[in-house]
Amino acid sequence: MTDMNAGLNVLEPQLARELEERVSLATREDTARGLFFNGALGAVKVLGGDSAMQRCIEAAGEKKYVDFFNYPVASFLKLAFTAAQVMGPQLGGFDSALRRMGVQATTDFLSSAAGKTLLLLASNNPKRMVGNLHSGYRAAVSYGERGVKWTGDTSGVFTMKRDFMTPAYHEGVLQAVIEAVGGKQVQVQGRKTGPLDSEYSLSWQ
């Protein structure tokens, strides 16, 4: 895909192929809020400076993002993969950088009106928070289905269908959201179960 060249020029071949696969499955209706773009760009600027941030902007194809406007998830994928490649050396690798972006995304979303409502409904109860996460995702992105199967009072398996971000990214999201409502010693282990499907074993104290 020639329009992806700006995003691919910093990626290893295997990562470039995964990015291309995920982008190819996205439609115009698959969107994410601008706050996720801004959070990722802010992290890149802190760690890599203006030149690194500019590289990510070029990969995504937009110069500015409004937090609660919707933008194509394909653009966010290009930005996120480029950002993870840029930040990886300082954060322990590509997947670690994606986890960091997932944590940042959670922080930014929970500070929004929709996120504050989610926190209020959870009442500092991690199980209640995870049980309500599907509605939080619906407020943030236009795609995907999510659910949870409990294996105990403080453990479960969270599933995602047709979600474009990688398991590493959502490991960061889920860990941060459980910690935000008081979960301690949080463990999140994700695995890919299909081209856009994944599941996450969760536990906390």
Domains of the chain: 2-93 (no CATH), 110-203 (3.90.1520.10)
- DSSP code of 203? E
pLDDT tens-digit map of 87-141 = 999 999 999 999 999 999 999 999 999 999 999 999 999 999 999 999 999 999 9
SS (H, E, C) 73-134: HHHHHHHHHHHHHHHHHHHCCHHHHHHHHHHHHHHHHHCCHHHHHHHHHHCCCHHHHHHHHH
Instruction: Give the model's pLDDT for residue 60.
Output: 95
pLDDT tens-digit map of 184-202 = 999 999 999 999 999 999 9
Asked whether residue 1 carries a pLDDT value surpassing 80, the answer given is no
Angle at 82 between CA 81 and CA 88, to 5 degrees: 85
Q: What is the pTM of this model?
A: 0.92
pLDDT tens-digit map of 165-178 = 999 999 999 999 99
> What is the pLDDT averaged over residues 49-58?
93
Q: Report the run of H or E that residue 70 belongs to, with start and end.
A: strand 70-72
Cα–Cα distance between 88 and 157 in angstroms, integer? Answer: 28
